[in-house]
């Protein structure tokens, strides 16, 4: 049998593609990572299909590139660096279970935020989301990438809200991580009161941590349980404008310490405008009117005394604001808390908010601590100036993580993909600033594209150790080769 026939034998002819148009669509994304066409695109329907595909890859030596989100993609991690077969999981989109009592959902990798949230709402739940994810973004894809969510209070560990997973390792072995491993089937576990809420283990190894952040290099996740939160019965958003970021940072630290507020994030005027505006003109006009920095705080009341919860939190926040000389308000010139709340509560409309200004966008993001962000921002402005990129066009998003212990610092460089001169300029800025930022102490915890080399060059021991792990779970290097340090 030919390779294609073997694939068809596993998943069926209607789920194997090798037509030029399909292959082309998976060959590139919006990043600067070099394009490369896959040989096949295959769309498994279930875990058995996935297992068959991984075993086939081990026999044929064909690299596999797992993809769960739809386009547009941005990070280069789903481009087949060495060719191979793209395993598109978008058709595996079952919600296996929503359990209100334990605030947990179990879903397949093709399910998007837009598809999950309405179903959760019916049960009185919500899933903390990244900042207005694109409508095609897979929930599991986002969680496996350790994308930050906008409610730092509910992120106890950097791995949250990912819990247990079912995974087909690069060897072709099926495995379940955390308490889902057993004893008993998943149904037996439900019957005993378990709900796959403990991601750790089984026992002495946290297997899920070896899959998360691995960019599909260890295996393919076929379902995961995710930690949900209660759906607010009442919600109030406050905007705290400031000309100076530093003033907002100290205030944000104080709120994080007091666990006041749910949503808590900082945006510069450009990014808030990009989130709210429908096109470039609107974004420009909004940006002009908005204050340079806005701290966004959401206060939620849940099933228990919702209004009273909001009331005491708001009063406490106002007291603290007074001490810090800032003023939480329900509207700033150009927008209102209501509008911002709408934008944060669901996935982005079309086009994706980062693309509305120029049609393209290149993100630089890393982890640091909130108090260090002004230093990185200053450096970024200097580098933009040096390359002739207007600093007013840089979107900035600061997201405290792990209840405030770390901070996701993100710069969004809007770019017209049809303007080669501009693309070159942004490429230069992207590359040089990525290098400079790591020298300043940026931690590329999610090292996509060129950041992988930068990160592992500074941390050779992690590269060596990661390769040992890779040698166990994917000894034939069939899973997304060429990514990270593999």
Partner 1 sequence: MALTGNVYQVLEDIVGSENISDEPVILDTYAFQYLAETETGTKFCARPGAVVLPGSTEEVQAIVKTCNRYGVKYKALSTGWGVWNAVSGAGTIQLDLRRMNRILDIDEKNMYAVVEPYVIGAQLQVEAMKRGLNCHIVGAGANFSPLASCTSLCGHGLSGIFMGYSARNPLAVEWVLPTGDILRLGSLGSGAGWFCGDGPGLSLRGVMRGFLGAMGAMGVFTKCAVKLYPWHGPPVLPMQGVTPEYRTSVPDNFRFCAIAFPNWDSFADATYKICEAEIGYVMGRQLPPGLVPLLLARSSAEYAQIRQSGMADEIMQEFKHAFLLVLAGGSLREIEYQEKALREILAETGGWIPSLTQDPEVQKLGFSFMLKADRQALIFKLACTFHTSFGAPTAWDAAVAGAKMGEKIKKKYIEKGVVVDDLADNAWGGPYEQGRFGHLEELFMYDPSDPESAKGAVEYIAEADEAVLKGSLGQPIGALPKQAVNVYGPACFNYQDWMRKLKRAFDPNIASDPISYIE
Q: Please give the residues from 136 up to 155 whose contact with partner 1 meets the rule CB under 8 A.
A: 146
Task: Please say which residue, 68 or 466, places its beta carbon nearer to partner 1.
Answer: 466
- Of the candidates 36, 27, 89, 86, which has an alpha carbon nearest to the alpha carbon of residue 62? 86
Cα–chain center distance at 145:
6
Least distance (Å) from partner 1 to the CB of residue 119?
20
Dist CA 118 CA 102 (whole Å): 18
58 CB contacts (<8 Å, ≥6 apart)? 170, 171, 172, 476, 478
**Binding to partner 1 in span 85-104, by CB under 8 A:** 101-103
**Span near partner 1 by CB under 8 A; candidates 32-40, 85-93, 113-121, 296-304:** 296-304
We find the least distance from the C-beta atom of residue 336 to partner 1, in angstroms, to be: 26
Using CB under 8 A as the binding criterion, the count of chain residues that bind partner 1 stands at 97
Nearest partner of 232 among 136, 317, 301, judged by Cα: 301
CA distance 480 to 85: 9
Q: Which residue has the tokens 């283990």?
A: 201
Q: How far is the CB of 269 from partner 1 (least distance, A)?
A: 25
> Rounded CA gap, 398 and 293, in Å?
11
* Residue 35 tokens, joined: 């394009």
Q: Per rule CB under 8 A, is residue 399 in the interface with partner 1? A: no
Rule CB under 8 A: choose which of 147, 363, 422, 459 binds partner 1.
Answer: 459
Which span (282-290, 291-299, 420-428, 443-451) binds partner 1, by CB under 8 A?
Answer: 443-451
In this structure, are residues 109 and 221 in contact, taking their beta carbons and an 8 Å threshold? yes
| Residue 332 CB, nearest approach to partner 1 (Å) | 26
The answer to whether 231 contacts partner 1 (rule: CB under 8 A) is no
- Judged by CB under 8 A, the stretch of 46-54, 272-280, 312-320, 338-346 that binds partner 1 is 312-320
Measured between alpha carbons, how far is 26 from 78 in angstroms, rounded to an integer? 8
From 2, 14, 118, 204, residue interacting with partner 1 (rule: CB under 8 A): 204
Do 268 and 165 contact (CB within 8 A), yes or no? no
Residues 349-388 that bind partner 1 (CB under 8 A): 367-371
Only one of the segments 83-91, 196-204, 334-342, 413-421 lies at the binding site for partner 1 (rule: CB under 8 A); that segment is: 196-204
Helix (H) or strand (E) holding 34: none
For 307, phi and psi rounded to 5 degrees?
A: -65, -40
Residues 319 to 338: which contact partner 1 by CB under 8 A? 319
Q: How far is the CB of 422 from partner 1 (least distance, A)?
A: 30
Least distance between partner 1 and beta carbon 116 (Å)? 18
Q: Restricting to residues 412-431, which ones interact with partner 1 according to CB under 8 A?
A: none
Nearer to partner 1, 99 or 269 (CB): 99
Query: Please, are residues 294 and 372 in contact by the beta-carbon 8 Å criterion?
Result: no
- CB closer to partner 1, 338 vs 405: 405
DSSP 303-332: SSSHHHHHHHHHHHHHHHHHHHT---BSEE
């Amino acid at each position: 049998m030919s390779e294609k026939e073997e694939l068809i034998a596993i998943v069926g002819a209607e789920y194997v593609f090798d037509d030029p148009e399909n292959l082309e669509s998976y060959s590139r994304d919006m990043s600067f990572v070099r394009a490369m066409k896959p040989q096949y695109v295959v769309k498994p329907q279930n875990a058995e299909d996935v297992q068959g595909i991984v075993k086939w890859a081990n026999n044929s030596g064909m690299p596999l590139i797992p993809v769960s989100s739809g386009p547009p993609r941005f990070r280069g991690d789903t481009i087949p660096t060495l060719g191979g077969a793209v395993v598109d999981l978008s058709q595996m989109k079952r919600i296996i279970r929503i359990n209100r009592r334990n605030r947990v959902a179990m879903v397949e990798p093709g399910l998007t935020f837009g598809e999950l949230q309405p179903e959760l709402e019916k049960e009185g739940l919500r899933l903390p989301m990244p900042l207005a994810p694109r409508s095609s973004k897979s929930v599991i894809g986002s969680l496996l990438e350790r994308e930050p969510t906008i409610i730092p209070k509910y992120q106890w560990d950097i791995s949250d809200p990912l819990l247990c997973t079912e995974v087909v390792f690069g060897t072709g072995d099926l495995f379940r991580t955390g308490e889902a491993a057993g004893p008993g089937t998943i149904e037996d576990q439900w019957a005993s009161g378990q709900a796959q809420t403990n991601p750790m283990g089984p026992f002495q190894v946290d297997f899920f941590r070896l899959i998360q952040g691995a960019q599909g290099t260890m295996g393919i996740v076929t379902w995961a349980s995710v930690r949900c939160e209660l759906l607010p019965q009442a919600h109030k958003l406050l905007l705290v404008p400031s000309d100076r970021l530093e003033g907002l940072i100290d205030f944000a630290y104080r709120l994080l310490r007091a666990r006041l507020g749910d949503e808590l994030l900082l945006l510069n005027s450009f990014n808030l405008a990009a989130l709210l505006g429908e096109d470039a003109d609107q974004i420009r006009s909004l940006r002009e009117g908005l204050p340079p920095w806005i701290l966004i705080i959401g206060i939620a009341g849940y099933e228990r005394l919702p209004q009273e919860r909001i009331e005491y939190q708001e009063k406490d926040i106002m007291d603290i604001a007074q001490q810090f000389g800032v003023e939480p308000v329900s509207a700033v010139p150009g927008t209102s808390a209501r509008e911002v709340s709408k934008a944060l509560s669901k996935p982005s409309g079309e086009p994706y908010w980062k693309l509305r200004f120029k049609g393209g966008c290149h993100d630089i993001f890393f982890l640091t601590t909130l108090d260090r962000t002004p230093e990185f921002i200053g450096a970024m402005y200097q580098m933009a100036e040096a390359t002739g990129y207007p600093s007013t066009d840089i979107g900035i998003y600061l997201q405290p993580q792990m209840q405030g212990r770390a901070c996701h610092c993100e710069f969004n460089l809007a770019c017209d993909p049809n303007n080669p001169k501009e693309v070159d300029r942004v490429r230069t800025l992207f590359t040089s600033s990525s290098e400079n930022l790591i020298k300043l102490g940026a931690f590329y915890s999610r090292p996509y594209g060129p950041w992988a080399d930068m990160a592992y060059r500074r941390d050779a021991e992690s590269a060596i150790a990661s390769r040992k792990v890779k040698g166990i779970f994917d000894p034939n290097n069939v899973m997304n080769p060429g990514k990270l340090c593999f």
